[in-house]
Amino acid sequence: MNRIFFLLLSVTTLLIACNSHDTKKDDEQAAILHRPPFAPLTDSLETAKGDLAAGLYFRRGELLARSNHHELAANDYRNSWQLDPEERTGFRYASTLSIIGQLAPAVQLLQDCEKRFPGNAAFPSMLADLYQQAGRNKQALDIYDDMLRRDSLNNDAWYEKGLLLEKIQDTLNAINALKKAYALQPVNTYGLELAHLYAESRNPVSLSICDDVLRKDSTHENIDPLFIKGIYYSNTAQYKKAIVQFDSCIGRDWKFTDAYLEKGIALYKQNRYDSAMSTFLMTVKVSDTYPDGYYWVGRCYEATGRKDQAILYYRQAFALDKDFTEAADHIKHLQ
């Protein structure tokens, strides 16, 4: 009997605490709405109706979103949408739902927006992005394919489809999609993504794309094409050429940890362990939370027979990234 009594008491206490928390949160949110710059709109909403109220909710939602009060902004966008379902309101409402992690209602809203505004490509694009966030890649691909059936010259759809295909490791089709995007709109973003895939596939076309981008770089500040060229050379075992490219990256940005890492790997593959270790140590100097740097220092120590030091660096890499299975495997092997 006592156990039942205490159980009921505990449940009651928990419910009271939850209600108290919700009430406190409601009070805090109400207080925000009655402070500048939201207060004038809040006062106006007390008497506004119809389209006027919809406009006021939307304006207040915009102010709240810019102030990072996204939950409150979502409420206002919802009220505005219910009163007057305009395109801009639907887009803002769906975006804000995504920001606060409410993917299911965001998907439902975007499906509604697609039906209401079939000519607006922003809605299917956002819906495809949300499907990807939810791991529903097949549905995201279906959306891009549908967009391209309606408009085969939609370069953004080709690009986004290429990125998704790359994500799911369908490299050949990813390259084809990115080629079409780049042919339709030869911008650096498309070209460098395509060049990166070519570099990983050991295709020398990667170099020509990167050179085209570099020729248009009047400021000489673009690092990505140099890095991608280095990746191509490294993948094709042209390590000296790779190091030249990675050094060029570092010359433009000495904090570019990936350039140090790839340069170190190129040195390591030439059995130049001391030079490789010095390079890997620079990654740790630039960013002491970079697990790959510690891991590769460990590889250098292991390659030169210094097992105890290697284990220390492998442990540091694993401490920074618990999913770093390679580091864990090396520790087990050395112990």
Q: What pLDDT, on the 0 to 100 scale, is given for residue 15?
A: 53
Terminal Cα distance for the chain, rounded: 57
Express each pLDDT in 174-197 by its tens digit: 999 999 999 999 999 999 999 999
61 is in which domain, residue-wise? 34-120
Residues 229 and 307 in one domain: no
| Residue 7 belongs to a domain | no
Position 254 pLDDT exceeds 70: yes
Residues 261 and 318 in one domain: yes
Query: Rounded to an integer, what is the distance from CA 121 to the centroid of its chain?
Result: 21
Residues 224 and 288 in one domain: no
Q: What pLDDT, on the 0 to 100 scale, is given for residue 28?
A: 85
| Residue 284 belongs to a domain | yes
| Residue 164 belongs to a domain | no
Residues 263 and 247 in one domain: no
Position 83 pLDDT exceeds 60: yes
Residues 249 and 261 in one domain: no
| Residue 72 belongs to a domain | yes
Q: What is the CA radius of gyration of the chain?
A: 27
Average pLDDT over every residue of 236-252: 97
In this prediction, residue 29 has a pLDDT band, given cuts at 50, 70 and 90, of confident
| Residue 304 belongs to a domain | yes
Average pLDDT over every residue of 195-204: 98
Give me the residue label for tokens 């959306």: 143
The last residue of a domain, from among 120, 154, 169? 120
The last residue of a domain, from among 91, 120, 149? 120
Position 207 pLDDT exceeds 70: yes
What 61-67 contacts at long range (C-beta under 8 Å, 24+ apart), as own/partner pairs, is: 61/92, 61/96, 62/92, 63/37, 63/38, 64/38, 65/92, 65/96
Average pLDDT over every residue of 285-299: 96
| Residue 260 belongs to a domain | yes
Count the residues in the chain. Answer: 335
| Residue 329 belongs to a domain | yes
Residues 261 and 335 in one domain: yes
Residues 268 and 240 in one domain: no
Position 18 pLDDT exceeds 60: no
Residues 244 and 276 in one domain: no
Q: Environment class of residue 309 by beta-carbon count within 10 Å: exposed (0-12), middle (13-18) or buried (19+)? A: middle
Residues 75 and 115 in one domain: yes
Position 1 pLDDT exceeds 80: no
Q: Environment class of residue 36 by beta-carbon count within 10 Å: exposed (0-12), middle (13-18) or buried (19+)? A: exposed
Quote the percentage of the chain above a pLDDT of 90: 88
pTM: 0.82
Position 229 pLDDT exceeds 80: yes
Residues 309 and 298 in one domain: yes
The number of domains in the chain is: 3
The last residue of a domain, from among 225, 253, 281? 253
Position 22 pLDDT exceeds 90: no
Q: What pLDDT, on the 0 to 100 scale, is given for residue 304?
A: 96
CATH of the domain at 271: 1.25.40.10
Q: What pLDDT, on the 0 to 100 scale, is given for residue 267?
A: 98
Q: Cα–Cα distances in Å, from 1 out to 7, 9, 11, 15, 273?
A: 10, 12, 16, 21, 73
Q: What pLDDT, on the 0 to 100 scale, is given for residue 20?
A: 54
What does the DSSP assignment read for 1-40?
A: -HHHHHHHHHHHHHHHHHHHHHHHHHHHHHHHHTSTTTHH
| Residue 179 belongs to a domain | no
